[in-house]
Each structure stands twice: as structure tokens, then as C-alpha cells.
Amino acid sequence: MTHAKKTTCMQSSADTKARMVLIVDSDELHRTYHTMVLQRFEYCVRAAAKAEEALQMIDDAVPALVITELDLPGMSGLDLLARIQQDPRTARIPVVALAANRDHATEIRCLRAGFSAYLGTPAGVEDLYRTIQTATEPVRRSSPRVHAKIPILVNNVPLDCVEGECASVISEHGMYIRTLKPHPPNSRVDVRIDLEGRTIAAGAVVLYSHRSGEGPFGEPGMGIKFAEIAPQDQEFLRRYINNELAPH
């Protein structure tokens, strides 16, 4: 018998509940792949190989989202959806269907049955990210992001990497720059990073600034949004981020 896995969540209990995702998939490789991708999206992930195991986990802790394979041994993914919908405690949980052989007729059947979305398996990084954002996040991020430690120049001045000043979170649309001297919101800055042998230069707008202990990362710095960036550089960032998020 394949035993379900439980991950360790580092968030507070309230935040953990809000960001807990349950994966139900009889294919161990796909289950592991989706678990690792979701963990890199900073979700708390629980995983089960069978619907019966999933129901036990849901009874123990109600997740924010369930992602289930349709063709499960014993109780199917459709049956699992019906059980979730029948319980008043869980009826509002969004459930996403996974299918190895994705086709239009099956997608229509799943959406009519009450699934929130329908994905091929294994799901692509961007498809999985956007589906979960749509289903669970009140304020959706436009694109995936990764934590990093990338040397950066701001207005042609290199930040002090020895002191930990760097691009610490990056997406294709912007980044969080850890710096002891952030620029004020709405100011314009020019940034330049060297990433995997490529130099990327962009004009940006400062969205917000934080002192130490403030903001989502607890780091002094500023969040910027790219205002001018070459399309090929933005595409390079998108590929870099997807590669970093995908399990290796």
C-alpha cells in the first residue's frame, strides 16, 4: 500500500490553512513532481495516492484546494469531488481535475460536474501556477516568482553583496531588491543584473519600500515593476524562473 506524505509547513497555522493544497494522484512520479512545484510556489502540500486517503486527510485538516487525478484506483476523482461537495464543511473547496489524456469532451464533463479547472498531467509550471492563483488567491500575482541572490546595479551603482544587498525575489515583471537604502515609492530607477551570462537592463518604477522587519519578506528594500524591458530579456527571465521552479 502506498502511504500518503505530509509536508512540514513553516507558516503560521492560519496562513497554513489558507495555503494548504492537497494532491491526489496514484502516479508517484507525477505526485512528487506536483508536490515539489507547489512547494516552490510556497504552498503547504499534502499528498495522497488514493481518494480514500485524501478524505481522511481532509477530515484531519481542510485544505484550500484539492488537485486530483481522475483515474484513481477504487474511488475515482469524480467520486472524490462528489464526496467533497456533499459535506457542508468542504463543499466550497475548489477541486482541480488532472487527466493524462486531455480532451475537450472530458474537460466539459469535468467542468459540468463542478471541477474548478481541468489540467493535463503532469501540469506545466505556468498552467499549474495560474490555475491555483485563480482558485485560491484573493489578489492574484500575474506571474511566478523565485527567491534568488543576484548581484544588481541600481542607477549604475552596484549594491553591496557582502552586506546582502541584491535582487532577492524575481519575476518576469519585476523584483524585490534587498537594500539598506531603498528609493521612495513612485520613483524611477534603472537596474542591471547579470544572470547566467546574460546582462539584463531595465527601467523600473518603485512600488513600495520597506525597512528591516517590514513587508512580506522582512527584509529592508524595495519592490519594483519593470516599465521598460526588452521583450527578449523578459522572455529570458520567464524561462529562467520556470526552470528554477521545475523539479530537477
Taking the C-alpha atoms of residue 227 and residue 202, their distance in angstroms, rounded to an integer, is 7
The pLDDT mean for the chain works out to 86
pLDDT per position as a tens digit, 122-153: 888 888 888 888 887 655 555 787 888 899 99
Facing residues of 208 across strands?
Answer: 223
pLDDT score, position 29 = 93
Sketch out the chain's domains with CATH numbers: 5-136 (3.40.50.2300), 145-245 (2.40.10.220)
* Whether the model pTM is above 0.75: no
As a dihedral over the C-alpha atoms of residue 63, residue 67, residue 72, residue 78, rounded to 10 degrees, the angle is 90
Amino acid letter for position 193 = I
pLDDT per position as a tens digit, 25-81: 999 999 999 999 998 888 899 999 999 999 999 999 999 999 999 999 999 999 999
Specify whether the CB–CB gap between 54 and 3 falls below 8 A. Answer: no
Instruction: Please count the other Cβ atoms lying within 10 Å of the Cβ belonging to residue 48.
Output: 27
Taking the C-alpha atoms of residue 111 and residue 117, their distance in angstroms, rounded to an integer, is 7
Specify whether the CB–CB gap between 169 and 215 falls below 8 A. Answer: no
pLDDT per position as a tens digit, 189-223: 999 999 999 999 999 999 999 877 665 556 789 99
Instruction: Please count the other Cβ atoms lying within 10 Å of the Cβ belonging to residue 23.
Output: 28
